[in-house]
Chains A and B, each alone.
Chain A
Amino acid sequence: MSINRRRVRAIVRKELRDLRRNRSLTVGMAVLPLIFCVQPLIAVFTLDPAAAGTLQHEHVLLYMLGIPALVPSFVAAYSVVGERQQGTLEPVLTTPIRPEELLLGKAVAALLPALAIAYLVYAVFLACVELFAASAVADALIRPADLLAQLVFTPLVAGWSIWLATLISTRSNDIRVAQQFATLASLPSIAVTTLVAFDVIPVSPVAGLVAAAALLLLNQVGWRVASAMFDRERLILGTNG
């Protein structure tokens, strides 16, 4: 099955325009990362330079992978059920667009701002650490391997959260319920990244590669499953019948 890029682009552009003008969603997306940023900053600033050695065994930067896990799930959970409740889904479904194209467009539109926010918050965090933390702490915290992992895993974690939330959105009848379930669904990802960050789950370069490949595959599977679960009739009629 071929994917029509123009149709996908149309959805991405429409979603981004709509998102930019939807204050409740943009505020929600902006507030959450602050929680993930402020807490570790306080911990880092108050850390005794003599204890910087303990950071060598942790990957504190990866703690912030909670941002891509959580932020896009709000938008993705809203994407299908929100349109349905607004009555805008039916006109879209009367066009030649396929579920795969519609969902891909919505996923990309959720991913792009999530990546922008996540990378921006990382940049702010790193800048704060470089500028204000003790140099021993900064050196222990900012390591090339962790930075690379941060860069690579951010889109993969975000993508997985998006597909879970999209799947929930296609099967849900209420926006708030969809967003609550999507938040719950992103918790395991946050838990895993936190356990890795604090060295409860030890990682190696090979384990990182395997995890990245697995997430890439999960993203593909998520897209296919969400598309297969996209039931035009149920979405139009609002029932299972």
Chain B
Amino acid sequence: MGLIDRGGRSRRVVEPHGRPAADGGRGTAALSAAALSKRFGDRVAFRDVSFEIGYGEVFGFLGPNGAGKTTTVRTLGTLIAPTSGSATIAGVPLTPENGVEIRRRISIMPESPGLYLRLSVVENLECFADLYQTPHPGERIDRALQAVHLIDRADDACGRLSKGLRQRVALARALLSDPEVLFLDEPTAGLDPAAARDVHELIRALGRSGVTVFLTTHRLSEAERLCDRVAILNTTVRTIGKPAELREQLFATTLTVSTLAPLGEPGRVFAGLPAVRAWRPDGPNGYVLTISDVAVAAPAVTRALVDAGADVLSIGESHHTLEDVYLQLIAENETGQGG
């Protein structure tokens, strides 16, 4: 994507305009929230949301429908006021008086592109470049369009574009203002795999160039690939951490063993093996072993199976995905609410 170039060092296409230099005097967190809550009458949209996100971090915000993700983004984007709690966005405290200053430093790409369909792509971007008072708007618009591979559709009316292309125009619009913090609400919704990959590359490049990206998505594989850390929200924040750490926290490392025929006495085969904590059957010819160290357990289990005369089909470490973590946490939450 066209966001990184020049001198072999990653840098942003869009030049900063009259705001603090990268990290200089901005504090450590690009975005922080402390016990932030929003209620609509009796209904809680989200409550006690707390986190800190560093500059250049790509932060994933995951959760089921109705979990409060979009409302959180709107709150942090100064579109709606929190009921309680506090937040700092791009170094500016979230208060009604600071709304304009915050919106100068951030950019939000809503889930729905919200383009003027009777206007062309470039006319849409011209409007927003002026609203952000972007210097050299023509140059900026060209670069933003190049970044999303839409330069050849600049003069097309947005109403004639497909959903995926409209999504890309909305992304180009979000890039115009050179934001310190970029909120992306489902940025790859409706995009084909190739276009989604381009957007992923763009997000990575933005993170490398120091832009903080706050990404809400339903695509857990996307979050796992892109995000330095993720938060799982279901009205309250269920967990925050690096995807790998969350997997380790929630799921023990396991070995999955498959044999040609069932073991006669699996308890005797697996008992007392080093680094094997427990085992359980998994289908007629399969076994799942909870282990503490795969490098120790795997050779020991292999030797034990061979000694027991078993015909081994496969031995492998089980991999849990962020999706497993997500589903586990959401299921726990639903069970907790149900009970």
Contacts and interface: CB of A to CB of B under 8 A. Distances in A.
A191 interface: no
Contact of A92 (B81, B131, B133, B170): B131
A87 B110 CA distance: 10
B58 to A, nearest CB: 20
B185 to A, nearest CB: 10
A95 B103 contact: yes
Contact of A232 (B79, B101, B116, B127): B79
Contact of B40 (A4, A88, A241): A241
Given A4-B133, A95-B128, A233 B81 contact: yes
B172 to A, nearest CB: 12
Interface stretch (A13-21, A59-67, A143-151, A158-166): A13-21
Contacts, number: 85
B130 A10 contact: yes
Contacts of A239: 40
Contacts of B132: 95-96
A94 to B, nearest CB: 4
Given A7-B131, A90-B79, A97-B131, A14 B100 contact: no
Interface string A117-153: 0000000000000000000000000000000000000
Interface string B97-121: 0001101101110101111111100
B312 interface: no
Interface in A197-241: 232-233, 236-237, 239, 241
A88 B123 contact: no
Question: Which of the four size classes fits the interface of chain A?
Answer: 20 to 34
A171 interface: no
B80 interface: yes
A46 interface: no
B74 interface: yes
B130 A7 contact: yes
Contacts of A18: 116, 118-119
Contacts of B112: 87, 90
Contacts of B128: 10, 91, 95
Given A10-B127, A10-B130, A87 B119 contact: no
A22 interface: yes
A14 B110 CA distance: 20
Contacts of A91: 108, 110, 113-114, 128, 170, 173
B120 to A, nearest CB: 9
Interface in B163-215: 170, 173, 177
B41 interface: yes
A91 B124 CA distance: 11
B131 A95 contact: yes
Interface in A4-42: 4, 6-7, 9-11, 13-14, 17-18, 21-22
A10 B131 contact: yes
A93 interface: yes
Nearest to B130: A10
A9 B123 contact: no
A23 B222 CA distance: 42
Contact of B79 (A7, A14, A93, A96): A93
Nearest to B127: A14
B63 interface: no
Given A9-B130, A241-B41, A88 B103 contact: no
B243 interface: no
Interface in A88-123: 88-98
Nearest to A234: B80
A7 B130 CA distance: 6
A94 B80 CA distance: 11
Contacts of B107: 94
Given A94-B107, A96-B104, A88 B114 contact: yes
B100 A94 contact: no
B56 interface: no
B77 interface: yes
A34 B80 CA distance: 44
A103 to B, nearest CB: 14
B80 A233 contact: yes
Contacts of A89: 114
Contact of A94 (B108, B116, B118): B108
Interface string A52-89: 00000000000000000000000000000000001111
A241 B110 CA distance: 21
Interface of A: 4, 6-7, 9-11, 13-14, 17-18, 21-22, 86-98, 232-233, 236-237, 239, 241
Given A13-B127, A91-B173, A96-B101, 19 more contacts: A10-B126, A17-B123, A86-B117, A87-B114, A88-B114, A88-B115, A88-B116, A91-B128, A94-B79, A94-B107, A95-B103, A95-B131, A95-B132, A96-B131, A98-B100, A232-B79, A233-B79, A237-B80, A241-B41
13 contacts: A10-B126, A14-B123, A17-B119, A88-B115, A89-B114, A90-B110, A94-B106, A94-B110, A95-B177, A232-B80, A233-B81, A236-B74, A239-B40
